[in-house]
Structure 1
Amino acid sequence: MEVIINNNTLALVLGDITKQTTEAIVNAANGTLMGGGGVDGAIHRAAGKKLLEACKQVRQNQLNGEHLPTGEAVITKGYELPAKFVIHTVGPVWSGDKKGKDALLANCYKNSLRLAVDHHLTSISFPSISTGVYHFPIDKAAEIAMKTIVAFLQEKSFGKVVMTLFSEKDYETYAAKLRDILA
């Protein structure tokens, strides 16, 4: 599915984010930036060992050794990936207190898009942030992602945003939310 919003393209695709050829891909990272499971692990494996070294440098130089806060984003090179850059963002974990989780998830998308703009990028691919091991409900996550991205594209001249979805079910959920928002 592909739609044009304010001369920008928003595409939903079924596939592997590590194969995307946009200028940047977004990593649904954990706060340590040291790799992990799911999308995070797949991106680290595909990018090669230099990505881990770059993430260590970001933690040391930009984060003063601290974890990347939930909803924030940082950028590294893409190394062995087709994408030139990886934007790392930490999504909220859906457990315990649910208060504020929607805003934190929206911030993942907003801050990643702002970082792309700050680096003069015109194309970015997102995964479905927080819906894997972080257990954010897919319906709620899809609505937040689509509303946030559509609002951004309505305000900015950016280029192309791709939602790269791992399963047919996720794709259908995102497509339905996008159709509802644009209706």
Structure 2
Amino acid sequence: MKKEDVLVCSGPKNLKLNNGGLSKALLSAAGREMQDELYQNYSNGVEYGGIATSRGYQLPCKFVYHGALQKWGTSQPDPLSTLEEFMMTCLVMANSHCRSSIAFPTLGLGFLDYPSDQVAKLMTKTIGDFSFKQSAVNIKDIVIVVFEEERLSLQSQTDLKTYNQFHNEAQKLTLIINMKKRSDLHPTGPNIPPT
């Protein structure tokens, strides 16, 4: 796995990493020091959409941004709004700290029951919004981790559908970003000679 500057993780509000699926796996890989750092610096946990930061310890990253998302079906606060706020805050924070790469899991899927099609659209939209709103972007790589490559052949139809949804949304986003880069190079439009 490539080493990213920042890895994003959603878990419980109290930041007890053993109580979440992804957070439990990260804790196991990172080591107990990660949990100790969170207890020391965030004794009250985080609110939905908020961020707590820790070092990466034994993980292939420098830092981990921890946050909490509520289960799908909760009306207040709106889960998609919270997801968007959390992602945007992660991106802005990573950018302001001059991080060059950040990796997001497919946030809200699994135990939290977010619909994968809505998550795929929102995650890619948030990345696009971030890239267009920032005057200077230090982040060079934004990765959405859908699932491990070596387990591809073992994945269910649902996982393949999720992968395809993210892949399609990412292709649309790439096209939009490439169009923006071209318009930045040619602010008045491309210089096309008359025919």
Q: Which residue number in structure 2 is paired with residue 55 of structure 1? A: 38
For normalisation by structure 2, the TM-score amounts to 0.75
- Count of residues in Structure 1 that have an aligned counterpart in Structure 2: 160
Would you say the 8 A contact 1:27–1:87 is kept in 2?
yes
| 1:44-70 Cα distance to aligned partner (Å, 9 max, x none) | 11100001101101223xxxxx23111
Structure with the higher fraction of residues in helix conformation = 2
For normalisation by structure 1, the TM-score amounts to 0.80
Supply the distance in 2 between the matched residues of 1:118 and 1:180 (Cα, whole angstroms): 26
- Higher Cα Rg, which structure: 2
Structure 1 unaligned residues grouped into runs of 5+: 1-18, 61-65
Would you say the 8 A contact 2:38–2:52 is kept in 1?
no
Q: Which residue number in structure 2 is paired with residue 134 of structure 1? A: 112
Q: Which residue number in structure 2 is paired with residue 26 of structure 1? A: 8
Shift of 1:90: 1.3
Within the alignment, does 1:169 sit opposite 2:161 as a pair?
Answer: yes
Q: Percent identity?
A: 25
- Higher RCO structure (Cα 8 Å, ≥6 apart): 1
One-letter code of the match for 1:46?
A
- Supply the RMSD in Å over aligned alpha carbons: 1.8
> SS at the partner of 1:175?
helix
One-letter code of the match for 1:85?
F
Supply the distance in 1 between the matched residues of 2:50 and 2:80 (Cα, whole angstroms): 14
With over 3 angstroms needed to count, the CA separation of the structure-2 counterparts of 1:143 and 1:39, relative to structure 1, is same
Q: Which residue number in structure 2 is paired with residue 46 of structure 1? A: 29
Shift of 1:103: 1.0
Would you say the 8 A contact 1:76–1:87 is kept in 2?
yes
Would you say the 8 A contact 2:10–2:68 is kept in 1?
yes
Q: Structure 1 residue runs of 4+, over 3 Å off?
A: 179-183
Structure 2 unaligned residues grouped into runs of 5+: 148-158, 177-195
